[in-house]
Chain A
Amino acid sequence: MTEVVTKDELGEAFAMFYGMAAAIGDMVEPAPEMDDAERVQRAKDTFLHGLDGTFALQLDVCVHCGACAEACQFYIGTEDPAYVPVRKLDLMKRVYQRELSPLRWLHRLTTPEITADDLRAQQTLVYDACTMCGRCNLVCPSGINISEMVHLNREALAAAGLMPDELRFMDDGQAADGTIFGADADLFRFRIEDLEQRLGFAIPVDKESADVLLVTSGLDIHLFRDATGGAIETLTHMGIDYTLLSDAYEGANFGLLSGDVKVQKELTRKLTEAAIRIGAKVVIVPECGHSFPALRWGAAESVGKPVPFDVMTVSEYFGRAVMDGRLTLEPQKHEKPIALHDPCKVGRWGGVFDEPRAILKACGYDLHETDSSRTYNFCCGGGAGNFLIERADPLKRAGYRVKMNEIEKTGAESLVVSCGSCRMNFEVGKVKAGDTMPVESLAAVIAAHLPKTPKEAAE
């Protein structure tokens, strides 16, 4: 593997990036004015638009057993009943009961209308105290899809102009220029040139057609260059016909995270149309957890018809190549055991479990699984954009602690992740908790185990 970023460079970039993220609160414009009646109306319209028969069935079936609390790391970490997952659906349930339920004539007598103050109070519950990881869905005896209904709550709050400042800043920024943290096309080209110099080969950009479209993210462009660099190095090693596109390189989607459906669909549509334009058979999304569902489950919806390409995350694409024998990695002797973190949106919500494990096995690692692994994995504590919300810091730290306790219990001495925001949250969590476990990118791990060329071997 060619070192595309040194430890010092990564440390400097991390400090800069952390400062940039922390300054969002100072940079953000005031939220647009909106009177309370309009906020309530917009929120109700959004709820009613999103509430289909399946959600209605699941809102009706809850027996209030409280089991979901025992799966949620924000409750486990704080023991505050305010954070019981199903409680986050109360507002939505009131709208359902009054407006849509078959028993609405009865519920209108007993269920109060939602108010703007209710919506303001809801902000903490569905943004700060929920990463929509979906672990609560796994314990509910009724199988209620709490996490996706929390997303509908985010959509309602976004429509009511009540998303947290940090996410509004990111959402507005991406609506304006399509990317995040100012990682515009110039910076993208700069990073590609930087990677070309370090890797020693030309990186295909803006090819008119290619089998594979590789997408990156502003987080990788600024900070985690080893993740994108690792993917590029491995694709080149495999001889894949791939390209990056200077008009469709951003995989992050803050429309999805913030609940701004319009921006979410527009960003996804742009990537989808670019992939169709170049005739891509596969789009590889970066090590960015939410970019996977945004495209994998959203591409067809964004253009209103099935799409002619597959969407895979980095770990899935290379993991399958390893499993199929199309990619051979060179196992090395790793003395220390490692742990693996499955990003929720890729694992629990995407079914990608075997692939990263196949990669680590092929690299010769001794993988120690956490007690709650694969489908039952805990979130990093800062997913779904939470890692940017400053006031949510105590909750993020509580969530991080629950996760890190499980990792430490495995006896692993390093952690591999395939999601930039998980990685960011682990890095910040480590600094704040005084932990020292190294956190590595899976894409970088793959690149580090590519068989040496004869020239490299001779050197």
Chain B
Amino acid sequence: MTLLDFARGPALEWAAVIFVVGLFWRIGGLIFLARARPLSRNRRDDLWRGGWRMVWSRFVPNRVFRDRISLQFLAGWVWHVGFFVVLLMFEVHILFFEGLFGLSWPALPNTVILVAAAVTAGLLVMLLIRRATQPVLRAISGFDDYASVVVVLLPLLTGLASYAHLGLAYETMLALHLLSVALLLVWLPFSKLVHVITMLPSRYVMGVKFWRRGVEV
């Protein structure tokens, strides 16, 4: 079995199993924890409206915070969008998903994907450096924070190298790309990357809390 066979065979398969089981374990564990239910009267009803409102409103910082955090939000937005554009709109990835799920959709031109990947990877490197050097971020960062950036960065870098035929032989680089994807799948349920699942529910419960108290956020 070559490295590439291993990467696209057992490595990805086991990673997918760990990904699914890990996510169920972590999210299920959170769902089954008891939740406090208030007895006091709501100031406003239709609580779902407050939750739903905050799910959307928190995508953009309020006016009063913009001077202080706009760049950070913008960088976050750009790399998240870039990552998903590369993941979901690259022709080769779509073929991969079609083979897996039987579904396909139109791809974006390779040039656009290349630029998106390069910008995303560049931003992630900058954010990693920022995390290591900015006093606030240093004070609150642990292994998970640094490792998660690296784990997200690796598929981008190896993907770019494979596409551009840089570095090692193409097959080896493609194998490394697939292995980095496997690592991402294994890492996600056990790290802060799980926020891709938990962030919107967290916003929702906070929006409900404020709404119940008559506050729109």
Contact = CB atoms under 8 A, between A and B. Distances in A.
Nearest to B143: A110
Contacts of A307: 40
A256 B134 CA distance: 36
B29 interface: yes
Interface string A413-426: 00000000000000
A81 interface: yes
Given A54-B35, A300-B40, A300-B41, A84 B201 contact: no
Interface stretch (A95-103, A186-194, A200-208, A360-368): A95-103
Interface band, chain B: 35 or more
A253 to B, nearest CB: 15
Contacts of A64: 137, 140-142, 145, 192
A196 B112 CA distance: 79
B195 interface: yes
B61 interface: yes
B25 interface: yes
Interface stretch (B62-70, B115-123, B155-163): B62-70
A6 to B, nearest CB: 37
Contacts of B134: 66
Interface in B203-217: 203-207, 209, 213-217
Interface string B27-69: 0111111111011110110000000001000110110110011
Contacts of A305: 39
A17 interface: no
A53 B72 contact: no
Interface in A63-89: 63-67, 69-71, 75, 81-82, 84, 86-87
A321 B5 CA distance: 76
Given A60-B30, A301-B38, A371 B64 contact: yes
A54 B205 contact: yes
B44, B135, B136, B143 interface centre (most CB from chain A within 10 Å): B136
28 contacts: A52-B36, A54-B205, A56-B30, A60-B30, A60-B198, A65-B72, A66-B140, A71-B65, A75-B136, A81-B138, A84-B136, A102-B29, A106-B190, A110-B143, A138-B65, A139-B61, A139-B62, A141-B59, A142-B198, A142-B199, A142-B202, A144-B202, A145-B209, A297-B213, A300-B40, A310-B41, A372-B64, A375-B217
Given A67-B69, A143-B54, 12 more contacts: A53-B35, A66-B137, A71-B65, A75-B136, A84-B140, A103-B26, A139-B69, A142-B199, A297-B40, A298-B40, A351-B213, A376-B62
